[in-house]
Amino acid sequence: MAIAITFRHMDSTEALKTCVHEKLERIQRYLRAPLDAHVTLFQERHQFVAEMNVQASGKVYQARHDSDDMYKSIDFVVDKVEHQIAKAHDAAARHKKGAQNAAEVGARATNPAPEPEES
């Protein structure tokens, strides 16, 4: 798990770094492959902004949130990325199940079941 944290227009603190690492560990539980994350934290016009770019298994998840508190911004951005991961996971599961059903339909079309004989 590679995590890069960038601070712009503000001082870096160990508390913020620890918070980001804990939140990304929570995201890692949902992914099979190790994630590569780039988190940018900065202040923009009296708003604290958190941007997150997560790459895992060839997929990219991105989110951005701004609020009046940096910890709140981090929480919201992590929630957004978790939602994107869950949505992608559900879509993959739907497609996988649909592919199995299509294979069964194709097998029945090529090998139809014998019809019962009338007596």
Each domain of the chain, given as residue ranges in start order, spans 2-110
Question: Quick one: pLDDT at residue 19?
Answer: 94
At residue 48 the predicted structure's pLDDT band, cuts being 50, 70 and 90, is: very high
State the average pLDDT over residues 90-115: 63
CB atoms within 10 A of CB 8: 11
- Residues 2-23 have pLDDT tens digits of 999 999 988 999 999 999 999 9
Average pLDDT value over all residues in the chain? 85
The more confidently predicted of residues 109 and 117 is 117
3-state secondary structure of 111: coil
Question: What is the CATH code for 2-110?
Answer: 3.30.160.100
Residue scoring higher pLDDT (18 or 1): 18
Contact 28, 1 (CB under 8 A): yes
Whether 109 has a pLDDT exceeding 80, the answer reads no
Q: What is the pLDDT of residue 29?
A: 86
Question: What pTM does this model have?
Answer: 0.74
Instruction: Give the mean pLDDT of 65-91.
Output: 92
What count of Cα atoms within 13 Å lies in the side-chain half-sphere of residue 82?
14
pLDDT at 107: 61
